[in-house]
Structure 1
Amino acid sequence: MQKRSVRDFLNIILNGTALGVVAGLIPNAVLSTLFKYLGKHFAANVFTTLSQAMYLLQFSIPVLVGMIVGQMLKFKPLESAVLGATVLAASGSLTFNANLKAYTGVPMGDLFNVMLITAIGAIAISLVKDKFGSVTIIFLPITGGLVAALGLVTLPYMKSLTSLLGQIIFKFTTLQPILMCMLITMSFAFLIVTPVSTVAMGLILFNNANYVGAGAATLGLVAAAAVLSIGTFRAKSKGASIAIILGAIKLMMPNCARRPQLFLPILTTAAITGLSGYFLGIQGTHESAGFGIIGLIGPTKAYEMNPGSLVQIILAFFVIPFTVAFLADRLYSDVLKLYKSEVYRPENY
């Protein structure tokens, strides 16, 4: 690995994580709802198999992150493969269940730990890759295994970061409903462009009967998607804009990390969208809270919980967030001159 600044190295980790998440997540995000609907009406076995394939692709995210980062660091094929395997083993995507005496899996794992072990693994591999000579094919994977073991030690601590954020957001659910909706919407709009899994956060926070709070969380993801899709479109990254609408919001993690000003239009849009969602009676469940408009899961669940609210749903999920996002982006970029539209353009996309 050639010499790089710490900033460049961290940018590679962020970009690799973002691309890996998008590559593994998009198929299920785009097609799962469609396949489930089609499977209910005809060729159930075919669409069940297709749905399972799309879902299982999400388990590849840690491997994809490691492989992509390895490629960005100019690693050789074996080195990238070892890094991918190392990240998978340490990600938390596969864990041993003592009660079942078997390994069980959850898609993606913990992204905080994925990024940490990707960085440590990349450094370790770069330090030893030229030291083993003809036995590299034996000892390089062993090195990866040792780094993975370290990752299993750090995994509980990285998971505790998500739990801590969950505890903070849970306090919002005890507030007055209007304030609760605004803060939850803003929180989820922020979290979606961080390594935190909003799906996991939704399951943790809204497994009770807080349907209004779950609806607000869903709208937070919509608000972030609205701002970032409009911004990338203005930056002439139309492919990225479409990908964000389809669910690839985490593609913008590196941009938001480098330019925190982008959180201004995101949080502004989220606050107004959350407020409107409360007055329009938007609801959700713990299963829909972390998805937004991905696969139309959020709007569909809101309609199921309040049939006859089609106009309110169109306003809350489409008209209001995208209108406010357009105005907020123009305010902060064109009027206040806090950033230029180019800051939305994703790298390596």
Structure 2
Amino acid sequence: MKDLTVKDFMNKILNGAAMGIVVGLIPNAILGEVFKALSGYGEIFQMLSQIVSAFSFTVPVLVGMFVAIQFKKTGVEMASIIGAAFVGSGAAQFVDGAWLLKGTGDLINIMLTVSFAVLIIELYNNRVKNLAIVIIPLLGVFAGFLGLLTLPFVGQLTALLGAMIENFTTLQPFMMMVLMGIAFALIIVTPLSTVAIAYAISLAGLGSGAANVGITATLFTLAYGSSKVNSKGTTFALFFAGPKMLMPNYLGNPIMTLPIVINATVTSIVAFIFKIQGTTASAGFGLTGLAGPINAYSFMSGSSIVNIGILIVQYLVVPLGIAIITHTIFTKMGLYKDEMYKFAAEGK
């Protein structure tokens, strides 16, 4: 730990967070809509739908576990980091005398909290080995307390960004859709929650459609780059876990902003032409669970075949085509290399 640079420390936190998100969200992303559609055919499907939904609530726990693994912590230390992550996530809230579980919590604050926990445990350095089983969990509680202290301020950061993005809705539709698409395309590869921002500003209609196609643009940009250096399984997982899976890659290589912005701009212009829309509930998901295209279809009128064709062009042909073009040009120009998209946990 002493030999770790700040960059190395942050990379371990980001890689742990990325793995926690992938494992926590993939079951619901793949099977959630399937079991929901089948729920009318028997209680077993209702139960399975609830199970995969509940599985996503484990994201704070899984982030804590994978971060602890990154830092090669012992079992007791890992358990304490996990406990701190869960407390600091804000997912569990005490309301009217009862505990309520609310979503997966705040990812930024989860990462802050596990950082506190790792640093505190490292500072303690197992000084009293015989009391480690007692002292280390207490250190985890203290880290969780620090996380709860920072939680309101992190929430204000999300609200502030949401307020800034809300200003885009006052612009004329074309500019609004382009800027909204770019904003959500970039936010999806940061610890910020696109879903939380969408709800904070009640994003709907064309704005929701722009947000979803922007996220889709990022997804295909990362997926095509990933296909060059990662296994098919890793690239396939991107379509369910979402772009946050390669969040460490993006934050460590800001040049990725260039192809993402270009792709988001083009896909948003196409979305303006096709008048792609969505709801507040669907905004921020992109292709995950097919939330974006399914909701966009519900706003479309006319021939079903034509509408499905439009959605295929919007959510597949355009973002994939631009991803191929930008990646090919920029790698040949030497702006970046394929290795930039290498998933940290590939092969592990």
**Which among 260, 263, 269 is matched to residue 269 of structure 1?**
263
Q: CA RMSD in A?
A: 1.3
Number of residue equivalences: 342
Alignment of 1:326 with 2:320, yes or no, is no
CA distance in 2, matches of 1:237, 1:261: 23
Alpha-carbon offset, residue 107 of structure 1: 2.1
Deviation string, structure 1 residues 201-228 (Cα, Å, up to 9, x no partner): 2222235xx4111011111111011100
Question: SS of the residue aligned with 1:124?
Answer: helix
Structure 2 equivalent of residue 348 of structure 1: 345
Alpha-carbon offset, residue 149 of structure 1: 0.9
User: Structure 1 vs Structure 2: percent identity of aligned residues?
Assistant: 37
Structure 1 equivalent of residue 7 of structure 2: 7
**Which among 186, 190, 196 is matched to residue 190 of structure 1?**
186
TM-score by length of 1: 0.95
CA distance in 1, matches of 2:330, 2:174: 25
Structure 1 equivalent of residue 234 of structure 2: 240
In the TM superposition, structure 1's runs of 4+ consecutive aligned residues that sit over 4 Å from their partners are: none
Alignment of 1:290 with 2:287, yes or no, is no
Question: SS of the residue aligned with 1:104?
Answer: strand
Structure 2 equivalent of residue 140 of structure 1: 136
Deviation string, structure 1 residues 15-55 (Cα, Å, up to 9, x no partner): 00111111101111111111111223x12x11111111111
Alpha carbons of 1:236 and 1:68: their partners in 2 closer, same or farther (altered >3 Å)? closer
**Which among 143, 149, 161 is matched to residue 165 of structure 1?**
161
Deviation string, structure 1 residues 80-111 (Cα, Å, up to 9, x no partner): 111011111111111222xx332222222111
Given that 1:206 and 1:213 are in contact with CA atoms closer than 8 Å, whether structure 2 keeps it comes out as: no
- For residues 16-55 of structure 1, the aligned pairs below 5 Å read 16-40=16-40, 42-43=41-42, 45-55=43-53
Given that 1:19 and 1:65 are in contact with CA atoms closer than 8 Å, whether structure 2 keeps it comes out as: yes
Structure 2 equivalent of residue 337 of structure 1: 334
Alpha-carbon offset, residue 302 of structure 1: 0.9
Given that 2:185 and 2:217 are in contact with CA atoms closer than 8 Å, whether structure 1 keeps it comes out as: yes
Alpha-carbon offset, residue 3 of structure 1: 3.0
- Segment drifting more, 174-183 vs 322-331: 322-331
CA distance in 2, matches of 1:299, 1:178: 20
Alpha-carbon offset, residue 2 of structure 1: 5.3
TM-score by length of 2: 0.95
CA distance in 1, matches of 2:155, 2:330: 34
CA distance in 2, matches of 1:342, 1:223: 20
Structure 1 unmatched runs, 5+: none
CA distance in 1, matches of 2:308, 2:35: 23
Structure 2 equivalent of residue 152 of structure 1: 148
Structure 2 equivalent of residue 279 of structure 1: 273
Structure 2 unmatched runs, 5+: none
CA distance in 2, matches of 1:129, 1:81: 16
Given that 2:214 and 2:267 are in contact with CA atoms closer than 8 Å, whether structure 1 keeps it comes out as: yes
Question: SS of the residue aligned with 2:170?
Answer: coil
Given that 2:21 and 2:244 are in contact with CA atoms closer than 8 Å, whether structure 1 keeps it comes out as: yes
CA distance in 2, matches of 1:38, 1:120: 43
**Which among 83, 99, 108 is matched to residue 85 of structure 1?**
83
CA distance in 1, matches of 2:196, 2:137: 31
Deviation string, structure 1 residues 118-169 (Cα, Å, up to 9, x no partner): 1111010112141232121111111111111111111001111111111111
1:245 counterpart letter in structure 2: F
Structure 1 equivalent of residue 65 of structure 2: 67
CA distance in 2, matches of 1:337, 1:140: 48
- For residues 181-260 of structure 1, the aligned pairs below 5 Å read 181-206=177-202, 210-260=204-254
CA distance in 2, matches of 1:226, 1:94: 34
Question: SS of the residue aligned with 1:109?
Answer: coil
Structure 2 equivalent of residue 310 of structure 1: 308
